[in-house]
Amino acid sequence: MVGGGFGGAIAAKTLRLINPKIEVILIERNRSYSALPGANWTIGGSRRIGENRLTYDRLEGNHGVRLIYGEAQVVDAAAKTVVLEAGTLSYDFAIVAPGIGFRVDEIEGYAAAETPDLFPHAWTSGEEIVVLKRRIEEMKNGGLVVVSLPTPPYRCPQAAYERVSQIAYYLKQAKPRSKILVLDASKSSSDLADLFLTGWRRSYGDMIEYRSSQQVLQIDAPRSSLRTTSETLTADVVNLIPPQMAGTLAHRSGLIGEDNHWCAVDHSSYESTVAGGIYVLGDACLGDDQQKSASAANAQGKACAMHIAGAIAQRGHQPHFYSNVLYSLLDDKHGASAVTFYRSEGRKSVRVDKGGGVSSEWSELEGIYARAWLGSILAEMSS
Ligand SMILES: Cc1cc2nc3c(=O)[nH]c(=O)nc-3n(C[C@H](O)[C@H](O)[C@H](O)COP(=O)(O)OP(=O)(O)OC[C@H]3O[C@@H](n4cnc5c(N)ncnc54)[C@H](O)[C@@H]3O)c2cc1C
């Protein structure tokens, strides 16, 4: 198993819970994990980033998952091995959950090493949000923050709208003459988009300006300027979220499907359709019409673990049914959610028409549920 995020850590734990005789090795590059859900709230000030940090101690201590800390170079489907910096591991089943990478070559002037320091994306780890938060705190009252949303599919669009809300919540209190310009490369890529737009108008007046179909084509980060499909502008703080693809390991391991960006999988088991015996979970795999999320990665991790444990026990394959539950906060209290149900049908994951839906209003009750959901999913990963 490679990748100890929301998909990989839960798949590892579930395999051991179903059958403690299965030897599970989790390869992860970092010794701790800084979760993204709830990390936006640190900008608004209602959470501390330390609350999002997890370690893998309990996966090892309580469940007997063996941790190897290091970078997996490639998973070789033909040889059934994972190549690490320090050697090679053989496997019977490989699960890969490497998260996302960025298609930075689609933005002229983007330098992979330097640009994230100047225009932080804060999209791969909760810890990165600390830098973005500091930039906003250092900005003058009356400054301009640009938040640029990429073309879909990308990791958790709803979180991008939540990011804007949390920046606005902070600015309204600390620097009320400031503005936020949202440049969305598409149009309303989240199920909650309309509710966000209404909430922004009501809570933040004209502080937020939202423009759809505004793709960033070129940047000059040292001069803090960017060119979109229709204009060139400069800003005090730029939160540039680049277009995305599956994490590098997926590309190196030949797991990418016909779209050239994301891993192609059989959604009944999460086995790759291009490299048999390797299973791909979470944001790296094509979500059909699913929003890439921690909630979906967690559900996929369990479904995949059940499939592999079933295969080891020579049990027949069971179709699965699961939910993708996404909460957001508009400020420090008011929450809303989008809930979707899916079932596997053949090799596809199909959205179930009945059940689920989106909140009709921001409410304190859903704010409480949002914090409870986060507490529960983080506890599941670290207990
Ligand atoms: C600001 C923000 C807020 C969000 N809020 C929510 C929310 O409220 N609800 C929700 O459901 N989702 C939310 N999400 C989405 C959620 O964070 C992701 O969907 C989720 O992290 C995907 O899990 P994953 O396991 O696929 O990838 P990740 O969580 O990115 O985990 C991948 C892991 O693999 C490791 N790795 C990668 N390559 C290698 C390698 N070669 N060798 C070793 N290790 C490797 C990485 O270090 C990492 O630990 C949010 C996202 C953002 C950006």
Locate tokens 């209290």: which residue? 333
Assigned CATH topology for domain 104-244 = FAD/NAD(P)-binding domain (3.50.50)
Q: Is 189 in the pocket of ligand 1 (CB under 6 A)?
A: no
Rounded Cα distance, 302 and 325, in Å:
15
237 Cα–ligand 1 center, Å: 24
Tally Cβ neighbours within 10 Å of residue 91: 17
DSSP letter for each residue of 213-229: S--EEEEEGGGTEEEES
Q: Is 34 in the pocket of ligand 1 (CB under 6 A)?
A: no
Q: Is 6 in the pocket of ligand 1 (CB under 6 A)?
A: yes
Give the pLDDT confidence score for residue 293 in this predicted structure: 96
> Residues 77-128: pLDDT tens digits?
999 999 999 899 999 999 999 999 999 999 999 999 999 999 999 999 999 9
Q: Are 310 and 93 within 8 A, CB to CB?
A: no
Segments making up each domain of the chain, as ranges: 6-99+247-317, 104-244
Residue whose CB lies within 8 A of the most ligand 1 atoms, among 1, 6, 76, for a mutation test? 6
Residues of the chain with pLDDT under 70: 287-288
Locate tokens 């999320």: which residue? 293
Rounded Cα distance, 95 and 46, in Å:
35
Give the pLDDT confidence score for residue 14 in this predicted structure: 98
Q: Is 249 in the pocket of ligand 1 (CB under 6 A)?
A: yes
Give the pLDDT confidence score for residue 110 in this predicted structure: 98
Residue whose CB lies within 8 A of the most ligand 1 atoms, among 281, 293, 374, 381, for a mutation test? 293
Q: Is 40 in the pocket of ligand 1 (CB under 6 A)?
A: yes
- Give yes or no on whether 6-99+247-317 and 104-244 have one common fold: yes
Give the pLDDT confidence score for residue 287 in this predicted structure: 63
Q: Is 282 in the pocket of ligand 1 (CB under 6 A)?
A: yes
Give the pLDDT confidence score for residue 290 in this predicted structure: 77
Superfamily name and number for 6-99+247-317: FAD/NAD(P)-binding domain (3.50.50.60)
Locate tokens 């369990």: which residue? 302
177 Cα–ligand 1 center, Å: 34
5 Cα–ligand 1 center, Å: 5
What φ, ψ does residue 3 adopt, rounded to 5°? Answer: 105, 110
E strands, 20-138, in order: 25-28, 32-34, 53-55, 66-69, 72-76, 81-84, 87-90, 94-96, 100-102
